[in-house]
Structure 1
């Protein structure tokens, strides 16, 4: 999932350099949303992913 975030971030940077501000803003928003989902899932996996000493 982090790979998708980086992909959309690179698309946003390239689109911004080329002057496509609408596409850049959209790609940046998608990258931001995917990153936040990744962080939430990471925290949840750290909290609930640990197994007891069985």
Structure 2
């Protein structure tokens, strides 16, 4: 399997969830959306779909 670089932006995830939930009739708070984005990021890490890298 080949490796590719993928950049995950939790703010982009948060905006996606916000729009999707609004479209489905929910009114999430900003804090709830940020938590969902963080949980999604952690899920991707746990499933080893992504790997977290830190730049110096």
TM range (shorter): 0.3 to 0.5
TM-score by length of 2: 0.40
- Using the size of structure 1 for normalisation, the TM-score is 0.41
